[in-house]
Chains A and B, each alone.
Chain A
Amino acid sequence: RKEVEQDPGPFNVPEGATVAFNCTYSNSASQSFFWYRQDCRKEPKLLMSVYSSGNEDGRFTAQLNRASQYISLLIRDSKLSDSATYLCVEANQAGTALIFGKGTTLSVSS
């Protein structure tokens, strides 16, 4: 099974910047997508779900484009605490397990 593809980065941005990550998926029948955040030497944690209509949570916006088969995550007004690896995640065909991308590393500097 081909996993979702992400640009590994790293993305190095100053505080206050807006940064966007994209990832692409190959299975047009895939239904559910998520963004997980993983801090260095920690376990992944759910950041947000991704819907076709878009999903916004504070400074974070996730979007799904089914026609082009990509998922995006936009972070506005970056904070130092946003520095982490962001994992693009797709649910498997049965919707019972998660398939993780390799992750995109973000480093926010002051």
Chain B
Amino acid sequence: EAGVAQSPRYKIIEKRQSVAFWCNPISGHATLYWYQQILGQGPKLLIQFQNNGVVDDSQLPKDRFSAERLKGVDSTLKIQPAKLEDSAVYLCASSRTGTGGDGYTFGSGTRLTVV
């Protein structure tokens, strides 16, 4: 089966600019996650969707980050305005059952550099 697709692979922006990332999960996977991974750290959960509804966005900095999953398939994560500390890899993952480690599949990630 096709994996989780993410784009772009790399993005460089100046602080205070806005940026958007796109994720297409594995077909049939109801649960979609966005993680932020800062260099030298483990992935940090930003938001979890079940179909097109938000399950958990408690760690999403809502003053600047937003995410949506219209129609319960593709998802976009937006940062506006970006700060230097947002430099990280943004990983999208999907799961068929949403029960944790049964089959999380990650995309290759989008590497964001804010200068």
Instruction: Indicate if the CB atoms of B101 and A91 lie closer than 8 Å.
Output: yes
Instruction: Indicate if the CB atoms of A96 and B91 lie closer than 8 Å.
Output: no
Instruction: Indicate if the CB atoms of B101 and A49 lie closer than 8 Å.
Output: yes
Query: A73 → chain B, closest Cβ, in Å?
Result: 14
Interface footprint category on A: 20 to 34
Instruction: Indicate if the CB atoms of B109 and A43 lie closer than 8 Å.
Output: yes
Interface footprint category on B: 20 to 34
Query: B38 → chain A, closest Cβ, in Å?
Result: 10
> Cβ of A102: which chain B residues have Cβ within 8 Å of it?
40-42
Is A100 in the interface zone, CB < 8 Å from B?
yes
A-B contact count (CB 8 A): 59
Partner of B104, one of A46, A99, A103: A46
Is A98 in the interface zone, CB < 8 Å from B?
yes
Restricting to A24-59, which residues have a CB under 8 Å from any CB of B?
32, 34, 42-46, 49
Assembly CA distance A3 to B37 (angstroms) = 14
Q: Which residues of B contact A (CB under 8 A)?
A: 31, 33, 35, 40-45, 48, 50, 55-56, 91, 98-101, 103-104, 106-109
Interface pairs (18), CB distance under 8 Å: A42-B108, A43-B91, A43-B106, A43-B108, A44-B91, A91-B99, A91-B100, A92-B56, A92-B100, A96-B48, A96-B50, A96-B55, A97-B100, A98-B45, A98-B101, A98-B104, A100-B35, A103-B41
Q: What 10 A-B pairs are tightest by C-beta distance, nearest first?
A: A100-B42, A91-B100, A43-B106, A34-B101, A100-B43, A102-B42, A96-B98, A97-B48, A103-B42, A101-B42
